A and B are shown apart, each in its own frame.
Chain A
Amino acid sequence: MATTTILGNTVYFSLAGVNLSDQVTNITINQQFEELETTAMGATSRVFVKGLETAQINVDFLNSYVATEVNTTLQNAYGTAVAFIINPNGSTTSATNPKYTGSVLVNNLTPINGAVGDLQTQSLSLTCVTPITYSET
């Protein structure tokens, strides 16, 4: 059976309606449910059920202060919940390029971050305020 692989440099990322893909150097979606233990007397192994979901989007940005780019987009969304869209391979959603969407609270910004000789960047962990939706269409 053929194995499909995909390079990490084709991820599409839109935040607050703005396509910021070309200013992202690293991006990760973390999804998890709380595991609630229901093990009772007589059980022979621990038993868990699904609890509430938490999710984060971890994203590394190249900082840019030009209008419509990273800093203005983040500052204008700061303290609010805004939508995100992530596709692994460009923005055209399909069965082989699913779309992950939801809303994140824009918080914990580091708009100035860089030492002498370094590029200015910021690494954000954006907490989702909605469940992440998975779509193939």
Chain B
Amino acid sequence: MTQLRFEQEHSARWAETEALLRAARLRQWTPDQVRLPGLYRQLCADLSLAQHRMYGARLCGRLNALVIDTREIISKGALLNRRRALTRFWSSCPLAVRREWRLFWLAMLLFWGPFFAFIIAAYHNERWIFAVLDESTMSSMDEMYGENSPVHHLREKFGSNFMMFAFYVEHNIGIGLRTIAGGVLATLGAVVSTALQGILLGAAFGYTHYQGNAERLYTFAAGHSSLELMGLVICGVAGMRLGMAVLNPGNLSRADALKVTAKQALPLIYGGPTLVFLAAFVEGFWSATDTPADMKWMVGGLLWVLLGSWLLFAGRGGPDEA
């Protein structure tokens, strides 16, 4: 069969496919479009024939484009099973954390080590703290958590809770996401970022120990501390997991290892920033209210226990357990 006859025989069907694609792109849904999968199969056969018979670049190019476009329209709109996604998130993140327990404890060390070191420094050698914090930070800490500062310093106006919530979303989740992304650089970004957060927060907390009302800061931070700090640690674990693909790709090439590891680290990549988001919620709308301190400590403690149990026990006994 010559090329001319081939085109004559099939051009009606190709024109019909093109018309259906055009309508689908404009989101005009017609009952005819149910024929698209069948037309797609025939198009694939036509393309294969045209390539094999070497009918030329023009015809092959046209069929090539048609196949690609039809496939795009057909494959789109895979429905998201929301309930399954939610249950998967609930169990897959702790499972991943338990699977990566070495990296988890390393991240914990990287964060809490400097944190407590700087708090201890407040009592022994406060120059460490002054090396880290700058003037403006120290003066704002004085304002907010000094001996005589008012209870809710920044939250008097309408909407200021929302503003702080939004600020924490942008700032803290941004840090978490950068930690994860930085991990690709052979874990360097994640390691440095986690340790840096430990240093900065430790210095800030240590400063209030040294000169200020530490109890006020702890009361403020109690509610959201578990969510935010463990969220950050989990982001660190995710970043280091990606970095380990570069450092230790095993039998795969580094590119392939990155691809595979990203799938494995996905629960962590979703889990960490989600925890930080929840923390922003608590920090924005609850932590600065004038609930009594005891209540805040209780809620904070409760959240720590809940978070710990979630990480320790959720997803156990399920089919995905390693």
Genuine A/B complex: no
